[in-house]
Amino acid sequence: MSRCGRTSHLESLLRHDEPELRAHAKQCALCRHELNWLESEAALFRQRAGRDEVAHLWSGVVRQPPRRRFGLLMAGLATAAAVLLLLAAPRTARTADEGPLETDALMSPALNFDDEPGCSRLPSGLGFTCQSSLPASVLASR
């Protein structure tokens, strides 16, 4: 057999039986050696599987910052809010810590700007629009 001892060839025996190949592996020392190792590795990895406790992890996934989990809808809304802010804001010089962060923070439904002067809820209910005088550091602290 021209592919004697080839791992990628023998690996197929771990997934489905190939009688001809298995019969060859029984007779061929090189293939038998490699197959023993492949089966040993598979047995070790298989026995490790399923031992972990993971039930508590879902709550952490759903608690992740929601700005990451609204995909295209939120990206679109964020862009619209940014355009609104640019159009509505007075032309004042921006400080270094202002910029994209504002847009992200404003569009996060987890934040609440109801009591903030100069802020109002967007018609969609998913975010707020504020005057640009609100510093990014304030937004980031929410």
Residue among 68, 66, 85 nearest 136 (CA) = 85
- What are the respective helix, strand and coil percentages of the chain, to the nearest 5? 55, 5, 40
141 binds other proteins (CB under 8 A): no
CA gap 34, 25 in Å, rounded: 9
36 binds other proteins (CB under 8 A): yes
CA gap 85, 125 in Å, rounded: 17
Q: Quote the least distance from Cβ 75 to other proteins, whole Å.
A: 10
Binding other proteins by CB under 8 A: which of 60, 117, 123, 125?
60
Amino acid making up residue 55: A
Residues numbered 91-120 forming contacts with other proteins, rule: CB under 8 A: none
Among 17-25, 56-64, 104-112, 129-137, the segment contacting other proteins (CB under 8 A) = 56-64
Binding other proteins by CB under 8 A: which of 17, 37, 95, 99?
37
CA gap 5, 81 in Å, rounded: 62
43 binds other proteins (CB under 8 A): yes
Tokens of 11: 């690996």
29 binds other proteins (CB under 8 A): yes
Q: Which residues bind other proteins (CB under 8 A)?
A: 7-8, 29, 32-34, 36-37, 39-45, 47-50, 52, 54, 56-58, 60-61, 64, 68-72
